[in-house]
Amino acid sequence: MPYDVLLGQEGKKEFLLGNEAVVRGIYEAGVSVASTYPGTPSSEIGDILYVLGNRMGIKFEFATNEKVALEIGAAAASGGLRSFVFMKHVGLNVAMDSFVSLAESGVRGGMVVLSADDPSMHSSQSEQDNRYIGKFVKSVVLEPSNPQELKDFIVAAFDLSEFAGHPVLVRSTTRISHVRAVVKFGKPREKNEWNYRKNPSLVLIPENAYKAQESLWQRIVKVSKSKYANYFNRTYGSSDTLIITSGSAYNYVEEALSKLMKEARILKVGMSFPLDTEGIMQEVRKAEKVVFVEEGGPFIEEQVLAECALQSVSKKFYGKSNGMVPYSYEMDVDRVASSLSRVFEVDYEPVQSAGGAPNREPVLCPGCPHRATYYVATLAMRQKGIRSPIAPTDIGCYTLGFYDPYRLGDFCYSMGSSIGSSSGFSMVAKEKVISFIGDSTFFHAGIPALVNAYHNNHNFLLVIMDNSTTAMTGGQPTPETSPPFNRVDIESVVRGIGIKDVFIIDPYDLKDSLETFKKALSSERLSVVISRRECALEADRKKPLSELKVFQVNQDKCTRCYNCIRNFSCAAFYTEEGRVKIDPELCDGCSVCSEPLVCPFNAIEVVE
Amino acid sequence: MVSIVFAGVGGQGVITVAMIIGKAAVMEERNALMTELHGMAQRGGRISVDVRIGDYRSAIIPIRSADLLVGFEELEAVRNLGKLRKDGIVILNRRRVHPVSMTIRKMDYPDDLIREQLEKFQVIDVDADGIAFKLGNKRVANTVMIGALHSTGVLGLREESIIRAIQGSLPDKLWEVNMKALEEGKKIVPLQAARTK
């Protein structure tokens, strides 16, 4: 089995992805319950637990969204079990309502929430720094720097959580969760027994919440005064320049210093809330210059500067607050060296990358049913005389419809925002509103918005692109996945709301899909097209070799009208001296481009 | 200490190859770090993976610091040249995957740009797809690349570790053809060196 190495003996060393180290960590910590909604860069944790959960004695499930996941974990922790909930950074926004309450109530069994932040937005809509959320809700905040620490901090976080009766937020980032490094295993601990007692602080009516508020601050103070205050921090090196750093930013500091041939004293913060201000201020007092190198906002920096103001300590400070360290995007050795060069007043100009290479935008895979859906939707609108629709879209592979040639993507904020914004657009816009959402996103946050749209009588066309999987994060199951789970049928949900104009298409059948789209576009009220076709990557995995075929362009028949590349635009097409060709390595054999609606000259043929 | 950039397009197995090198290093009790960068596309997007063997903390290779660039696709190799040391080596599979944005504009693959940029470096051409085709299994192209990479000697890893790492990532029945692919890959560097002399 692929992930079996994670069950290895104490003392073993493996080359693990940060997310794999997380799974080992919760196994060692004796976690009983875990839940998530998939999101990059945390997705692999769920993939592994889905396979390995039972053997690790961990009850794991993919929840419909992050808020549900957090509440599953909170229930387990209230009965004394250890629970673990994980998500990408923006997922914590969805879970926020209950996360605030969780910190208010406190926990009995250890509970750790992992947020995988994504500085530089490699696969996200923002680079929010969730350490601020941790401080805002007043949970403990830990910041590991590498896969080994990710595992070790998680194990310690559970002990800390149980010691203080308080949840712990572990903040990872892309360059920790998605870094592979050597990780040494520890010993798995026994699991806690279920031991539920009624507890009024879990019922946050005003009277109980009023008491919980006092206890919350006591829990934070308890952590500050315990051995944990500086347990996760480390200080070394001798110099009157002090660099305070944390998380993945720490990884770049020493190599940057060696590039500049300089030295510094390094204070690596592992627990950034509550902060060990006493220990840190001792170091600050000894230093002449104090530099803050963090990824995200000036989180530690602001806390230390506030303490310096309180204690009237004045030093030369270098950080994000005074523009000495950049605010945005992930750090690396070159960026840190460039910031430090200002501290040491030396020159450092990293040579820029070789330029000139044309961009390679992300694309829908060959065979992707979304491409066919976008193609017919566009064709139907053209035939109905709809020139410039407003097309809210959502979070998933289909967001790529934003790019040429489809250009169907006018609004995309967060999970489910396509439908909410469509209500708003259809309330005021003169343009036709046609909105796109995927199946998993529909379940996650689309349903309340669709209820709103129907109830308030909004008029737009919603296209639910149902590929029966959470494709963009690697193909996790959805509420439609069955067996062993109960299948939730999207059509029944939509009809159950009361919506009358519901159409089902198979996007590979272009002719029928075109007629159906035109019907749906003629509707004068809220209508829904469910475009149903399995993700091509998933389908390919099941396809027997005998069914594999590829297509080619018959140059004798091709008239060079270029409709295929201009409007259908499969990633397997390319041009050479004006000729359209198909890369056989990339062709998925879906055959959609050979339909007369894409190639009216029947020039695209199967390679015999 | 050695830093290697692997660059290509989603679906080419770039990550798998990088991982084999990382695992081989770990088998020799060396410290290894690996990080990958890919966008939101599942297939066809650009991918680059940094692998560093030795006493590093940063998985990301700084600008102009990589010893080797292993290109699985020409344009992606060029895109990552900025990471390569001035005297670094490029190992390149001459494969072209046309970006869709160029195809829509009916643009040909940018051969001139690629030639111009690669000229500044020592480039080892590997016809990995051609060799794999001759061996009767086009999926072993990446093993040919590993063979060529290993034979530069820059990795400083024992062949036995690399073989074990490849073995760990394969079902037994594919073993023999991959061993042949590795052998073919190993011949390329000495051959090209002989030719330039």
**CB B31, CB B55: distance < 8 Å:** yes
* Token pair in block for residue A594: 């050979």
Residue A496 tokens read as: 């159950």
Determine whether the interchain pair A358/B32 forms a contact, defined as Cβ–Cβ distance below 8 Å: no
- Identity of residue B49: V
The alpha-carbon gap from B85 to the nearest alpha carbon of chain A, in Å, equals 11
Nearest to B33 among A179, A352, A571 (CB): A179
C-alpha–C-alpha distance, residues A373 and A371, integer Å: 5
Structure tokens that stand for A189 in this block? 């601990």
Are both A4-229 and A369-542 of the same fold? Answer: yes
Option in B58, B76, B100 nearest A251 (CB): B58
What phi, psi does B44 have (nearest 5°)? 85, -5
Name the CA radius of gyration of chain A, rounded. 27
In whole angstroms, give the CA distance from residue A287 to residue A289.
6
CB contact under 8 A, B59 and A251: yes
Number of helices (H), then strands (E), belonging to chain B: the values are 8, 6
On chain A, the residues whose CB falls within 8 A of the CB of B57 are: 145-146, 250-252, 254-255
CATH of domain A234-343: 3.40.50.920
Q: For each of the domains in chain B, give its residue range(s) and CATH number, in order of start.
A: 2-196 (3.40.920.10)
Q: Give the pair of three-digit tokens for residue A169.
A: 């937020």
B/e letters for A208-218, b = 16+ CB within 10 Å, e = fewer, are beeebeeebee
C-alpha torsion sign, points A503, A467, A90, A339: negative
Chain B residue numbers with beta carbons less than 8 Å from the beta carbon of A19 are: none
Q: State CA A469 to chain mean position distance.
A: 16
Q: Which residue has the tokens 């990633």?
A: A571
pLDDT in tens, A112-170: 999 999 999 999 999 999 999 999 999 999 999 999 999 999 999 999 999 999 999 99
Angle, helices A66-78/A89-105, rounded to nearest 10 degrees:
30
Q: Where are the domains of chain A?
A: 4-229, 234-343, 369-542, 545-606
Query: Of all residues in chain A, what percent carry a pLDDT higher than 70?
Result: 99
* Token code pair at residue B59: 């998985």
Instruction: Flag whether pLDDT at A354 surpasses 60.
Output: no
Here the tokens at position A145 are 């720097």
Cβ neighbourhood burial of B153 (10 Å; 0-12, 13-18, 19+) = exposed
Cα distances from A62 to residues A54, A77, A168, A496, in angstroms, run: 14, 18, 21, 24
A-chain residues within 8 Å CB-CB of B117? 354, 356-357
Strands (DSSP E) along A416-536, which ranges? Answer: 434-438, 461-466, 501-505, 527-532
Please calculate the CA angle A387-A426-A520 and round it to the nearest 5 degrees. 60
C-alpha to C-alpha distance for A76 and A111, rounded to whole angstroms: 9
CATH topology of domain A545-606: Alpha-Beta Plaits (3.30.70)
Note the pLDDT of residue B197.
54
Check residue A196 and report its DSSP letter.
-
What gap in Å lies between CA A82 and CA A73, rounded to an integer?
A: 8
Kindly determine whether residue A255 and residue B101, on different chains, have CB atoms separated by under 8 Å: no
Q: Assess contact for B25 and B91: CB atoms under 8 A.
A: no
Please name the residue of chain A whose CA is at the shortest distance from the CA of residue B116.
A356
* Residues pairing with A15 in the sheet: A182
Give me the half-sphere count of Cα atoms (radius 13 Å) on the Cβ side of residue A135: 16
Q: Under 8 Å CB-to-CB from A549, ≥6 apart: which residues? A: A589, A591, A606, A607
**Each residue's pLDDT tens digit, A483-517:** 889 999 999 999 999 999 999 999 999 999 999 99
Report the C-alpha gap between A100 and A79 in whole angstroms.
Answer: 19
Contact A292, A323 (CB under 8 A): no
Cβ neighbours of A601 (radius 10 Å):
13
The identity of residue A259, as a single letter, is: K
What pLDDT score was predicted for residue A166?
A: 98
Using the 8-state DSSP alphabet, how is residue A586 labeled?
T
Nearest CB among A180, A356, A573 relative to B103 is that of A573
- Which ipTM was obtained for this model? 0.95
Q: Per residue in A439-477, pLDDT tens?
A: 999 999 999 999 999 999 999 999 999 999 999 888 899
Residue with tokens 């379940």: A443
B196 pLDDT band, cuts 50/70/90, is low
Please state, in angstroms and rounded to a whole number, the distance separating the CA atoms of residues A187 and A8.
10
What does the alpha-carbon distance between residue A431 and residue A392 come to, in Å, rounded to a whole number? 12
Q: DSSP 3-state assignment of A40?
A: coil
Indicate the CATH number for domain A4-229. Answer: 3.40.50.970
Which residue carries 């995927």 as its tokens?
A: A438
Nearest C-alpha of chain B: how many angstroms from A176? 9
Residue A353, pLDDT score: 62
Interchain CB distance below 8 Å, A472 and B62: no
User: Edge-to-edge, what's the strand order for the sheet holding A461-466?
Assistant: A434-438, A461-466, A527-532, A501-505
Average pLDDT over chain A reads 96
CB atoms within 10 A of CB A511: 11
Reported as a single tens digit per residue, the pLDDT across A420-431 is 999 999 999 999
Q: How many CB atoms lie within 10 A of CB A132?
A: 16
Element (H, E) at A417: helix A417-428
pLDDT of residue B184: 96
Q: What is the CATH topology of the domain spanning A369-542?
A: Rossmann fold (3.40.50)
Q: How high is the pLDDT of residue A428?
A: 98
Residues B154-189: tens digit of each pLDDT: 999 999 999 999 998 888 889 999 999 999 999 988
Residue keyed to tokens 């519901």:
A502
Range with lowest mean pLDDT among A296-300, A491-495, B116-120: B116-120
Chain A residues with CB under 8 Å of B28 CB are none
CB atoms within 10 A of CB A206: 6
